[in-house]
Amino acid sequence: MIPGVFASVEEDILNEHNRLRRLHRSPDLQLVPYVPDQVHSAANNITEEDKEPPYVRDFPLSVCKTLGDPVKCVQQWYDGVKDYDFDNPGFSDETKYFTALIWKASNHVAVLTKTNQISKNKYVFAFYHPLGNIDGKFKENVPRLNG
């Protein structure tokens, strides 16, 4: 991590990612010191419209809207674990944020937080690299809980 580049909320979000990833033996992520323009643009539009967008698999952006602690969004994404079928691994709308978060081959994350100035809703965005949720790769990239 580059000292002084990241706000503490981004570091807290990263730490929560890594705590949950370790439960599945997925390697720690590192924050990227920049957020891609495409992510900035999407985040601005989503925040201004004040609604969560549909998930697009060729541009998989994890999005969470909250009035509370932005770090809790990571746990909200992780909660998809309860619906994930490890015996029949694959993509589903119910678990897409969980599988993206745990995806073993991802090693970097761009994190962005924004607030809608009217509603005061906070948005947390996570964009993983390399991208996860790739058909045919779930078994080796979404490991079971350590046990």
Among 62, 66, 93, 91, residue whose Cα is nearest residue 77? 62
Global model pTM greater than 0.85: yes
Q: Where are the domains of the chain?
A: 9-129
Sheet holding 108-115, edge to edge: 30-31, 108-115, 122-129, 62-66
Specify the CATH class of 9-129 in words: alpha beta
Both tokens of residue 17?
């990612």
**Model pLDDT, residue 18:** 99
**Model pLDDT, residue 58:** 62
Compute the distance between CA of residue 129 and CA of residue 106 in angstroms, rounded to an integer: 5
Average pLDDT, the chain: 90
Residue 82 pLDDT more than 80?
A: yes
Compute the distance between CA of residue 138 and CA of residue 86 in angstroms, rounded to an integer: 9
pLDDT in tens, 42-77: 899 999 999 877 666 667 889 999 989 999 999 999
pLDDT in tens, 98-145: 999 999 999 999 999 999 999 999 999 999 999 999 999 999 999 999
Residue 35 pLDDT more than 90?
A: no
